[in-house]
Amino acid sequence: MNLNNEIDVDQAVQIMKKGGLKATKQRLALLELLFVNKDFYQTLADLTKQMRVQFAKMSNETVYRNIKELEQLQIVETRLFDNGIRAKFQCDFNNTKHAHFICETCGRIIEIQQPDISPILAQLPGYIIEQEHFELIGKCAVCQAK
């Protein structure tokens, strides 16, 4: 399910510039890499390996720092999986409160409408919610058929 309002690299670059980040060759290449693989969360190690094809001296720290900066601007989404932090291009800048189905076999991500969590929040009076992540994890139809 595509909830529309998908953004592209040009829109991400504009948000990045408004947020005070320069559009360096490395950042643009990282954005492009994330955009091309926008249906999957990628490990930071995989991103670094792919970035080193263009930028031989690219370090893990540089990729991590850039991912964190892009995440603060809501250009990138990150999640902590069993094997570390993974990142993906933000699929919808106009609707950052959406949910995902993640196939644990192939890694494909399907964007879904986030359910109303206000009944859950009502059980937490006085608490401050800083982030919401709603994800369903399982096997997609293609992987089940294999």
Dihedral of alpha carbons 131, 41, 46, 83, sign: positive
**CB distance 106 to 130 below 8 Å:** no
Q: Is 103 left (phi over 0), alpha (psi -120 to 50) or beta?
A: beta
- Is 91 marked as binding a ligand? no
Q: Which two tokens stand for residue 92?
A: 């919808």
- Is 143 marked as binding a ligand? yes
CA distances from 29 to 7, 66, 95 (A): 16, 11, 25
How far apart are alpha carbons 109 and 122 in whole angstroms? 29
Could you tell me whether strands 99-103 and 134-138 are parallel, antiparallel, or unpaired per DSSP bridges? parallel
Residue set of the binding site: 103, 106, 140, 143
Residues belonging to the binding site for Zn(2+) are 103, 106, 140, 143
